[in-house]
Amino acid sequence: ELEFQNVNCAEPVSNLAIQLNKNAFGLSPANQQVVCNPPVSIGSKGKTSVQLLVNRNMLAPVAAGQPANPQIQIAIKNMSTSQVFYFAANFSIESIFAPGGAVDRSAFIDAWKNIDDGKELYSTLSDLP
């Protein structure tokens, strides 16, 4: 969900565009166009939803042995004025989990098999209590 305020744009804000840089989660907007309905006049606030999808082309590389960076760099453009607002937001991984938490067994196995073998580590443990 996106909440914003029109601080100083004389004409009501009605159309925005959103873009995310590559990130550790591969997130990108389903649609870059964001329509404000009703338009947001100066001094007012608006709220809209932006659906995010996982896109392999948007995955940022993560150095081996390093944690993924939860920060996502975002740009929002006012299509009426062409002004662009840049900011970064920390993404909480918990927000992409399904409320029920269950995944169909065959879907999980298929997803597991699609993981690149180069990213898989395994070893044999012995002498466990």
Low-confidence stretches of the chain (pLDDT beneath 50): none
Kindly state the tokens that stand for 71.
């920060």
- For residue range 92-110, what is the model confidence (pLDDT) as tens digits? 877 777 777 778 889 888 9
Q: Residues for the chain: how many in total?
A: 129
Q: Which residues contact 72 (CB under 8 A, 6 or more apart)?
A: 20, 21, 23, 25, 27, 88, 89, 90, 91
